[in-house]
């Protein structure tokens, strides 16, 4: 039932500045794809071009193979959910959901049945007669969802739908979205700047930066094997440092502040300027016991309890930024602020991006 | 007023906490405020009371309160052969302006708001010009532009002039309504749901700006019912309106003039009351949600 979407070479300029600068997309039927990136990266503009709300300057968009680039939004048969809900304030929840059907002049019995079905789907049957101003943010967004799904669109577009909601509601709506996606077998394109949201919901995540696609892949791929510097720093937390690859005995290593970290074989060549990154959870802490020529050493500056893990901010000599190390909470009691520790980082988990 | 009440409620709660003493404590500021308010009310209301009193008085020249009361002046005013025709003409103006003004201005404001928001400041600027012109200048300009060359129907032209000078109010009222509901996003949502321009205007935009349109229309009709200068200049010789009659009657007999003035005031008062009820009642409802949405 879900539609497939392909887009090639999408370009959109505003006042001479390219908000979207050559974006390709390939969304398979039934997939949940997130467009992830910071403000201004072009993700919302891309979504709006897919919706038909923005004219495409260059490129084409095909839904199920059919070229829709110049088709007005009314004819594209898509569903869209906006960040600020965009519910019609003069209509009840029922009438909001019924809107698309009324506009198509469907018979009354069909409208009633379908609207009730949709309200049931989002668990809002009791709120049918309420007006948007009488509903909470979470409820309004669910009505918006029901409204978009009323005509069984083959493609559902969501523009940061959870940004305006508080954390608890966000969690529950996230679960709702996942459930609906599976239950309805609809293709979803989801725009967000929250990478946790994108990772937890999507089959594929498209990371965007400055109007271009930085990397596209499954959440695991992006997290474990980021291919670009931007993806590595935007997705998940990481420690990063601009440094040079140098020789250290038989192997190659990189300087990190005053210390150095050995690299795995087959890394960049000696002398290369790189940005080195590694994730906080791959490193391990040891109480300092004598000099270590490999790994780093430093003083614990800050201990932050995050529930299942505890994050240590460690001041390493010569390094500008504190290094973050995540340790499972039940193994972290031994380390206290002010203590000297050594950090060992598995060489094969250090990612290098040439400068 | 709200300040007064707030002050008093704070005073009350703090005074009851001191062993049940119930005398509310007035701060010196409250007294001064009440005094100023009272003076302002007296200043504004006194002339109105005077004119109402004069219209109802048998005689009133040397005493503080009228010397006997009568409805004679009202009866004489109404029986005057000029009363009915002028009142009917003004009524026609009121009806015409309150229907035509929304019809002309609403589509224009909706279009500019949605399709050409950059033009808005220009439109606002243009709409203020007729209103800012001195009455004589405007009247002569209208005559020069439309009556001399094309011999346009004068009363019709007067109605259109009233619409012209009330443009800023109409414009503001409708534009505020559209902004409050975030019209642009609503139209986009409507388009995604398959609705064309006619549908979204009919189902979504008009219902939500209704209050704005009505207040604008009421303002125009209040203007049309009491405007003298333009009417006198543009149609005064052959098509006298009620305000023109009011002015004439004032010249012949002040007591009849004041009776007519009170009638005119009563009409404007009713219109203002309707306006207030309309604009405040709805505020608690959907407009509250709209502003909440816009604030998110």
Residue of A nearest to B283 (CA): A133
Return residue ranges of chain A for CATH 2.40.50.140.
237-354
How crowded is residue B132: how many other Cβ atoms within 10 Å of its Cβ? 10
Kindly give the pairing relationship between strand A340-344 and strand A296-305. antiparallel
The pLDDT value recorded for residue A107 is 94
Mean pLDDT within B154-174: 91
Lowest mean pLDDT among A260-269, B137-146, B241-250: A260-269
CATH class of A237-354: mainly beta
A131/B289 Cβ within 8 A: yes
User: Rounded to two decimals, what is the model's pTM?
Assistant: 0.79
Q: pLDDT class for B63, splitting at 50, 70, 90?
A: confident
Residue A156, helix vs strand vs coil: strand
Whose tokens are 């007519």? That residue is B260
Flag whether residue A103 sits within 8 Å of chain B, measured between CB atoms: yes
What pLDDT digit, counting tens, does each position of A22-61 carry?
999 999 999 999 999 999 899 999 999 999 999 999 999 9
CATH class of A5-233: alpha beta
For residues B10 and B5, give the distance between their C-alpha atoms in angstroms, rounded to a whole number: 9
Q: Report the share of chain B in percent with pLDDT over 90.
A: 32
Average pLDDT, chain A: 90
State the smallest CA–CA distance between residue B201 and chain A in angstroms. Answer: 12
What pLDDT digit, counting tens, does each position of B256-294 carry?
888 899 998 898 888 888 888 877 765 544 444 444 444
Flag whether residue A77 sits within 8 Å of chain B, measured between CB atoms: yes
State the smallest CA–CA distance between residue B184 and chain A in angstroms. Answer: 10
State the smallest CA–CA distance between residue A198 and chain B in angstroms. Answer: 23
Q: pLDDT class for A87, splitting at 50, 70, 90?
A: very high
The pLDDT value recorded for residue B14 is 46
Flag whether residue A93 sits within 8 Å of chain B, measured between CB atoms: no
How crowded is residue A122: how many other Cβ atoms within 10 Å of its Cβ? 22
The pLDDT value recorded for residue B77 is 85
Q: pLDDT class for A99, splitting at 50, 70, 90?
A: very high
Residue A17, helix vs strand vs coil: strand
A99/B293 Cβ within 8 A: no
Domains of chain B: 2-70 (no CATH), 76-295 (1.10.3720.10)
Residue of A nearest to B294 (CA): A84
The pLDDT value recorded for residue B7 is 40
Average pLDDT, chain B: 83
Residues in chain B: 296
Flag whether residue A79 sits within 8 Å of chain B, measured between CB atoms: yes
* Of the candidates A7, A3, A36, A34, the residue with the CA atom closest to the CA atom of residue A23: A7
Q: pLDDT class for A143, splitting at 50, 70, 90?
A: very high
Whether the per-residue pLDDT at A215 is higher than 90: the answer is: yes
Residue of B nearest to A148 (CA): B193
Whether the per-residue pLDDT at A141 is higher than 90: the answer is: yes
Mean pLDDT within A128-136: 94
The pLDDT value recorded for residue B103 is 93
Whether the per-residue pLDDT at A268 is higher than 70: the answer is: no
DSSP B82-130: THHHHHHHHHHHHHHHHHHHHHHHHHHHHHHHHH-GGGHHHHHHHHHHH
B 160-199 near A (Cβ less than 8 A): 181-182, 185-186, 188-196, 199
- The answer to whether the beta carbons of residues A337 and A301 sit under 8 Å apart is yes
Please give the structure tokens belonging to residue A280.
Answer: 């906080």
Determine phi and psi for A303, rounding to 5 degrees.
-120, 120
Return residue ranges of chain A for CATH 3.40.50.300.
5-233
Whether the per-residue pLDDT at A174 is higher than 60: the answer is: yes
Lowest mean pLDDT among A3-12, A97-106, B21-30: B21-30
Per-residue CA distances from A50 to A24, A61, A68, A197, B192 (Å): 12, 7, 9, 21, 11
For residues B75 and A27, give the distance between their C-alpha atoms in angstroms, rounded to a whole number: 82
- Strands, E assignment, B31-99: 57-59, 67-69
Whether the per-residue pLDDT at B73 is higher than 90: the answer is: no
How crowded is residue B159: how many other Cβ atoms within 10 Å of its Cβ? 22
The pLDDT value recorded for residue B282 is 57
Whether the per-residue pLDDT at B11 is higher than 60: the answer is: no
Please give the structure tokens belonging to residue A64.
Answer: 């199920």
Per-residue CA distances from B258 to B248, B250, B266 (Å): 12, 7, 12
The pLDDT value recorded for residue B23 is 66
Q: Write the residue in B190, B199, B208 that is nearest to A89 by C-beta.
A: B208
- The answer to whether the beta carbons of residues A44 and A159 sit under 8 Å apart is yes
The pLDDT value recorded for residue B287 is 46
Please give the structure tokens belonging to residue A323.
Answer: 């290094």
For residues B139 and B109, give the distance between their C-alpha atoms in angstroms, rounded to a whole number: 26
Q: pLDDT class for A120, splitting at 50, 70, 90?
A: very high
For residues B76 and A297, give the distance between their C-alpha atoms in angstroms, rounded to a whole number: 105
Whose tokens are 């009563």? That residue is B266
How crowded is residue A180: how many other Cβ atoms within 10 Å of its Cβ? 19
Interface A-B: count of C-beta contacts within 8 A: 85
Q: Burial code of B234-268, b = ≥16 C-beta within 10 A, e = fewer? A: bbbeebbbbbbbbbebeeeeebbbbbbbbbbeebe
The pLDDT value recorded for residue B291 is 45
For residues B189 and B212, give the distance between their C-alpha atoms in angstroms, rounded to a whole number: 23
By CB atoms closer than 10 A (0-12, 13-18, 19+), residue A306 is exposed
Q: Which residue has the higher pLDDT, B19 or B54?
A: B54
For residues B206 and B109, give the distance between their C-alpha atoms in angstroms, rounded to a whole number: 12
Determine phi and psi for A78, rounding to 5 degrees.
-110, 165
A84/B185 Cβ within 8 A: yes
The pLDDT value recorded for residue B295 is 43
What pLDDT digit, counting tens, does each position of B228-260 carry?
999 999 887 888 889 998 888 888 888 888 889
Residue B275, helix vs strand vs coil: helix
């Amino acid at each position: 039932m879900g539609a497939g979407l392909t887009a090639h070479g999408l370009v959109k300029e505003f006042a001479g500045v390219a908000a979207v600068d050559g974006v390709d997309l390939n969304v398979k039927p039934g997939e949940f794809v997130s467009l992830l990136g910071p403000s201004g990266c072009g993700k919302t503009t891309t979504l709006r071009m897919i919706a038909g709300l923005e004219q495409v300057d260059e490129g084409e968009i095909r839904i199920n193979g059919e070229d829709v680039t110049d088709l007005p939004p009314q004819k594209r048969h898509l569903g869209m959910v906006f960040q600020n809900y965009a519910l019609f304030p003069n209509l009840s929840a029922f009438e909001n959901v019924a809107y698309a059907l009324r506009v198509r002049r469907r018979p009354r019995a069909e409208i009633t049945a379908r609207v009730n079905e949709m309200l049931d789907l989002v668990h809002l049957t009791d709120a049918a007669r309420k007006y948007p101003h009488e509903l909470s943010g979470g409820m309004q967004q669910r009505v918006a969802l029901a409204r978009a799904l009323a005509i069984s669109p083959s493609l559902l577009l969501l523009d940061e739908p959870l940004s305006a909601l508080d954390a608890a509601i966000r969690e529950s709506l996230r679960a709702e979205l996942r459930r609906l996606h599976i239950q309805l077998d609809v293709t979803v394109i989801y725009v967000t700047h929250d990478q946790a949201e994108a990772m937890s919901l999507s089959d594929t995540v498209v990371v965007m930066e400055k109007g271009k696609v930085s990397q596209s892949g499954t959440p695991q791929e992006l997290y474990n094997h980021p291919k670009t510097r931007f993806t590595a720093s935007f997705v998940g937390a990481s420690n990063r440092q601009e440094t040079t690859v140098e020789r250290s005995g038989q192997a190659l290593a990189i300087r990190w502040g005053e210390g150095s970290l050995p690299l795995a074989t087959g890394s960049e060549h000696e002398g290369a300027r790189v940005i080195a990154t590694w994730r906080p959870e791959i490193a391990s802490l040891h109480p300092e016991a004598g000099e270590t020529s490999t790994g780093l050493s430093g003083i614990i500056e800050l201990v932050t309890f995050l529930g299942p893990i505890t994050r240590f901010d460690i001041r390493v000599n010569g390094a500008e930024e504190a290094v973050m190390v995540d340790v499972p909470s039940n193994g972290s009691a031994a380390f206290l602020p002010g203590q000297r520790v050594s950090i060992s980082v598995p060489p094969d988990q250090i990612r290098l991006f040439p400068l | 007023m709200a300040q007064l009440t707030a002050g008093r409620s704070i005073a009350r709660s703090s005074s009851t906490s001191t062993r049940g003493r119930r005398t509310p404590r007035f701060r010196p500021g409250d007294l001064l405020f009440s005094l100023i308010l009272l003076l302002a009310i007296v200043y504004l209301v006194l002339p109105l009371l005077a004119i109402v009193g004069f219209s109802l008085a048998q005689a009133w020249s040397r005493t503080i309160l009228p010397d006997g009361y009568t409805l004679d002046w009202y009866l004489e005013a109404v029986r005057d052969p000029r009363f009915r025709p002028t009142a009917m003409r003004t009524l026609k103006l009121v009806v015409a302006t309150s229907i035509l003004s929304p019809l002309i201005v609403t589509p224009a404001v909706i279009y500019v708001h949605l399709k050409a928001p950059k033009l808005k400041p220009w439109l606002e600027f243009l709409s203020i010009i007729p209103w800012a012109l001195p009455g004589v200048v405007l009247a002569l300009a209208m005559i020069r532009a439309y009556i001399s060359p094309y011999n346009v129907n004068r009363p019709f032209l007067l109605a259109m002039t009233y619409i012209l000078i009330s443009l800023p109010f109409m414009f503001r009222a409708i534009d505020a309504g559209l902004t409050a509901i975030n019209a642009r996003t609503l139209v986009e949502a409507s388009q995604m749901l398959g609705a064309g321009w006619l549908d979204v205007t009919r189902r979504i935009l008009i219902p939500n700006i209704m209050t704005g349109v009505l207040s604008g229309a009421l303002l125009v009709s209040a203007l049309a019912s009491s405007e003298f200068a333009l009417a006198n200049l543009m149609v005064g010789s052959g098509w006298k309106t009620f305000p023109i009659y009011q002015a004439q009657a004032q010249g012949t007999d002040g007591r009849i003039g004041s009776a007519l003035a009170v009638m005119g005031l009563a009409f404007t008062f009713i219109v203002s009351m309707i306006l207030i009820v309309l604009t405040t009642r709805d505020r608690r409802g959907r407009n509250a949600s709209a502003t909440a949405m816009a604030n998110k």
